[in-house]
Structure 1
Amino acid sequence: ARFVLHRIRGRAGHAGHRMVLVGTLPECLEVYVAVTRNPAAGLVPVAIHITDGYAAARGIQTPVPVYAGRDVLALVREVGGDTIAVCGSASAEPGELRRLAWQLEGSGVDLVVAPQLTDIAGPRVHIRPIEGLPLLHVEEPTLSGPALLAKNLMDRVAAGLGLLLLVPVFLAIGLAIRLSDPGPVFFRQPRVGHEGRTFRVWKFRTMYVNAEERLAGLVDQNETDGMLFKMKQDPRVFPVGRFLRASSLDELPQLINVLWGEMSLVGPRPLPADDGDFLGDVRRRLLVRPGMTGLWQVSGRSDLSWDEAVRLDLYYVDNWSLAYDLSILWRTVGVVLARKGAY
C-alpha cells in the first residue's frame, strides 16, 4: 500500500497534503526545500505566510506565493490547503502556537511544527513533556560501542567472502581491460579516510592509460560542481570501462580496502586526497570510515550536486545505525541494477 501511495504521489502529484508555511521567509524556504526533496512524502507547500512582514520578501524570488498580515486559517481555505506548518522561530512562541491549535479545532486543518533542527533522524529524537512544555530531546550520534564492533565484523567477513567468491569475475574483468587497452588492470588513487588518514583506493581501471594527461583539456567540460570531475560522455573512458562504471563493477576491488579496515561496506564516499577541502562541516564526514556504497549512491549518485552529496554524507554520520547500513545495502542492489546516476 505504501509503494502504491508513493507512486501516486511521485508521478501524479495526488494524495498529498497542501501546506501553508508560517514563519520568517528564510525558515519557510528551508522547510520548503526539505519537504519537496522527496515527492513521495506527499507534502506540497502552496503558500508562505511570513511573520516578519512583506519587506523581508522584497526582491526575493519565491517558489510559492507569499502573504503577510493575514488570518492564517482564512488563508489556508483561500489557497485550498489542509495543513499549517509552523516553521523555526515561529514555533518558539508557545502562547501563539497554543491559540492557533485551538483555532484549528474542528476545521479539518492539520497543524505540524518544523523546529530549527534539520537532518536528524527519528530514532535520535524524543519528545519529553515537562509541566506542559514539550522538550525535544536529541540523543548523541552512535559512533562507538557494540554496534560499531558488529559493523566492523560484518565488513571484514563480507569482504573476505566476497573476494573469494568473485575471483572468476575479477579474472574475466581483468582480461577484458587488458584487451581493451594495454596497461594495468587496477587503478589506485590516494583518498582521505577515517580521521583524515590517507589510503590508496582499489578500482578496476576504466580509462585509457593517458587519462591524467588529458584531464587538463577537459576541465571546462566538468558537469558537476564540487571536488570531483564528472562527464557523462568522458572520452578518456574506453567502452569496457563505460560498462564497468554503469554496472559499478569497477568498485568491486574496494573489498580489499574493506578487508584491510581502510573502508567500510557503507559510509560516505572517499574523496581524492589532493583535492580535499575538509574544513568546517565537511570535516565531520571523516568521523566514520568511507564506504563502497552510501546514502548518496542510493539517492542519485553522480546526478547529485556537491552540496546535496555532502548533506547526505553528514546525515549518514549523524544518524548511523547497523539497521540503516543494511537498508542502504538493500537499496544499493536496486540502484546498481537500474544503473542510475553512474558514469
Structure 2
Amino acid sequence: MITAAVVVAHLVRFGATTNASVSESLPFTFDISYAALGIAIGALWWLALTGWNTRDDRFLGAGLEEYKRVAAASLYLFGGLAILSYAARVDTARGYVGIALPLGLLLLLFGRWGARKYIRAARNHGKLSRRVLLIGGPEAVNHLAGSLRDDAGAGYSPVGAFLPQHDADESHTVDLEYVSRGSTLSDILTSIDEAYADTVAISSGSSLAPALVRRLGWELQARGVQMIMAPALTDVAGPRIHTQPIAGLPLIHVSAPELKGIKRFAKRAFDVFFAALGLVILAPFMLLLAVLIRFDDPGPVFFHQRRIGIDGRPFYMHKFRSMVVDAEQRLAELRAASEGNGVLFKMKQDPRITKLGAFIRRCSIDELPQLWNVLRGEMSLVGPRPPLPQEVDTYEDFVHRRLMVTPGITGLWQVSGRSDLTWDESVRLDLYYVENWSLTQDFIIILKTAKAVFSKSGAY
C-alpha cells in the first residue's frame, strides 16, 4: 500500500523521470532525488506503523483503535517531515506530499478493512481466536461467555471456566466444555493447562484476593498468557472509560454521558447541513416517487404519524405512504398475526402494503421525507428509533433514557437487524447510543446504514 502511494505520487507529480531532486537552502549543497526520497519515506512510514503498534493483535479485527493508530502514525510522520523540511529550509514539492499522504492513508485503511473482513470471517468459524479461560462466579462467567460468543469476530473464544471454591454455587450451571473449581494459584494454573488457554479473563464476580491476582499476573507473564480484567461495566464505550493509578490501584473512572454543549451544537450543525443538502439533491427523485405513489394507489402521497421525540415531546413523523389509505383502521384485525418483538407490530407479508410500497420499504426510500423532520429539529440523521406514544406508555423507568437525545432516521437498531431485533435488543442498542454518543459513531452508523439498506436485512 505504501509503495503504491509513493510510486503514484511520483508519477503524477514528475512523470516517469527519476532525475527530479529536492532543492535546499543550506550553506552546503547536496542533491536528493525524489526517487530516493520516496524510498526513504516508504521505509519511515513502515517503521512508524510498527512504532505505533498498529499490528498488535489486541486491536486487529475489532474496534476503532487499529484505524486510529494507522492514521496517527501516518499523520505524525508527515507532520514531522513537514517540520523538518521547514526547519532545514528544504523545498519539498507540496504536490508530491499532497498525493502520497492521503492516497497512502486511504490505501492503508482500506487494506486494514479488507484484512479485518477476512479475520472476522475466520473467527466466526472458530479460527484465529484466543482460547479464554474465564474466572469468577457462575452467573458472571455465563454472562461474560455469552457476550464473547455474541461477538465471535472479536477473537476471544471462551473454552473453560475456573470457579473459586467460595463462589461455586451448585444451583448455577456453567455452559462451557471445561469447568474446574479450586482456591489456590496452582489450581488456576492447572486449569489453564488443561483448557489449553492462552488468555485468562477475570470477571467481576470473582472474589480472588488481590495478592493472589498479583501472583497470578506474574505467572501468566512468565507463561506468555494474556490476562484480562472484565469489570461490571456493560454498554459503556471506551471514550467514557479512563484508568488512573491511585495509591497503587488501577482505578477505572467512568465519565457521565455528555449530551449538551458544543457536542450537541456540532451534531445539530451536522444534521442541518446534510439534511438540507439531501433535500436539494433528492428533490427531483422524491417528486418522481410522489407521482408513482399516486398512480400505484390513489390517495395521499405522504403518511404522517405521531411519534415521541426528545424529552417526551410529541411530533408528527413524515414518510412516503407505502400502505393502503385505511391501513391504520385495519391494524386491529391484524394484530393477532404480528411477527414483531412483542411491543411493535410487524408482519413480513403485511396485506396492507401496496406493490410500490413493498419496494420502497425494502430500500428504506419511504423514510426520505424525514429529512424535513431533521431540518425542523424534530429528528436527527442518527439516533434512537422514534417511538409511538403507546410504546412510551409501556416503558420501564430506565427505558425513558432513550428520550434524552433526538430520535434518528437511522441508528444502531437500523444497522443491527431492524425488524428482526427483539424488544430487549432494540432497547439495549438505543440505550448504548444514548450513553456513548459521538460524531465519529454517527458517521460510522451512516456508512453502515448504506450496507444495511442494500442488504435489505430485517426490512419489511
Instruction: Tell me which amino acid in the other structure corresponds to 2:333.
Output: G
Specify which of 309, 327, 336 is matched with residue 211 of structure 1: 327
The Cα of 1:81 is off from its aligned counterpart by 2.0
Specify which of 9, 14, 22 is matched with residue 135 of structure 2: 22
CA separation of 1:121 and 1:262: change in aligned 2, threshold 3 A = same
Contact 1:296/1:309, CA 8 A, preserved across alignment = yes
The residue that corresponds to 1:170 in the other structure is: 286
Contact 1:54/1:67, CA 8 A, preserved across alignment = no
The Cα of 1:111 is off from its aligned counterpart by 1.0
The residue that corresponds to 1:88 in the other structure is: 204
The residue that corresponds to 1:130 in the other structure is: 246
The residue that corresponds to 1:43 in the other structure is: 156
The residue that corresponds to 2:423 in the other structure is: 306
Instruction: Tell me which amino acid in the other structure corresponds to 1:50.
Output: L
The residue that corresponds to 1:109 in the other structure is: 225
CA RMSD across the alignment: 1.9
Question: What pairs up with 1:92-241 in 2 under 5 angstroms?
Answer: 93-241=209-357
The Cα of 1:249 is off from its aligned counterpart by 0.3
> When you count helix as a share of all residues, which structure comes out higher?
2
Which of structures 1 and 2 has the larger relative contact order (alpha carbons within 8 angstroms, sep 6+)?
A: 1
Farther-moved stretch of structure 1 (150-159 vs 213-222): 213-222
Question: Identity rate of aligned residues, in percent?
Answer: 47
The Cα of 1:54 is off from its aligned counterpart by 8.2
Contact 2:167/2:206, CA 8 A, preserved across alignment = no
Higher Rg of the two aligned structures: 2
SS in 2 for 1:297: coil
SS in 1 for 2:221: coil
The residue that corresponds to 2:4 in the other structure is: none
The residue that corresponds to 2:11 in the other structure is: none
Q: How far, CA to CA, are the matches of 2:116 and 2:366 in structure 1?
A: 34
Farther-moved stretch of structure 1 (140-149 vs 288-297): 140-149
Instruction: Tell me which amino acid in the other structure corresponds to 2:238.
Output: G
Farther-moved stretch of structure 1 (92-101 vs 110-119): 92-101
Deviations 1:75-96 (A, max 9, x none): 2222222211100132774223
Gapped runs of 5+ residues in structure 1? none
The residue that corresponds to 2:33 in the other structure is: none
The residue that corresponds to 2:81 in the other structure is: none
The residue that corresponds to 2:119 in the other structure is: 5
Q: How far, CA to CA, are the matches of 1:334 and 1:119 in structure 2?
A: 24
The Cα of 1:65 is off from its aligned counterpart by 4.7
Q: How far, CA to CA, are the matches of 1:133 and 1:247 in structure 2?
A: 52
Q: How many residues align?
A: 342
Deviations 1:4-26 (A, max 9, x none): 2122212x220001111111112
Instruction: Tell me which amino acid in the other structure corresponds to 1:4.
Output: Y
Specify which of 333, 337, 341 is matched with residue 450 of structure 2: 333
Q: How far, CA to CA, are the matches of 1:55 and 1:219 in structure 2?
A: 46
Q: How far, CA to CA, are the matches of 1:216 and 1:16 in structure 2?
A: 49
CA separation of 1:92 and 1:158: change in aligned 2, threshold 3 A = farther
CA separation of 1:255 and 1:103: change in aligned 2, threshold 3 A = same
Q: How far, CA to CA, are the matches of 2:118 and 2:326 in structure 1?
A: 49
Deviations 1:100-131 (A, max 9, x none): 21232322321101001111111111110113
Q: How far, CA to CA, are the matches of 1:91 and 1:42 in structure 2?
A: 26
The Cα of 1:64 is off from its aligned counterpart by 4.7
Q: Please tell me whether residue 287 in structure 1 is matched to residue 404 in structure 2.
A: yes
SS in 2 for 1:233: coil
Instruction: Tell me which amino acid in the other structure corresponds to 1:297.
Output: Q
The Cα of 1:279 is off from its aligned counterpart by 3.0
SS in 2 for 1:271: coil
CA separation of 1:178 and 1:65: change in aligned 2, threshold 3 A = farther
The Cα of 1:141 is off from its aligned counterpart by 1.2
CA separation of 1:174 and 1:87: change in aligned 2, threshold 3 A = same
Specify which of 425, 432, 446 is matched with residue 315 of structure 1: 432
Instruction: Tell me which amino acid in the other structure corresponds to 1:324.
Output: Q
CA separation of 1:223 and 1:92: change in aligned 2, threshold 3 A = farther
Q: How far, CA to CA, are the matches of 2:118 and 2:174 in structure 1?
A: 34
Instruction: Tell me which amino acid in the other structure corresponds to 2:130.
Output: H
Gapped runs of 5+ residues in structure 2? 1-114
The residue that corresponds to 2:459 in the other structure is: 342
Q: Please tell me whether residue 245 in structure 1 is matched to residue 358 in structure 2.
A: no
The Cα of 1:61 is off from its aligned counterpart by 6.9
Farther-moved stretch of structure 1 (43-52 vs 194-203): 43-52
Report the TM-score, using the length of structure 2 for normalisation: 0.71
Instruction: Tell me which amino acid in the other structure corresponds to 2:122.
Output: I
Deviations 1:187-213 (A, max 9, x none): 111111100001111111111122223
The residue that corresponds to 2:382 in the other structure is: 266
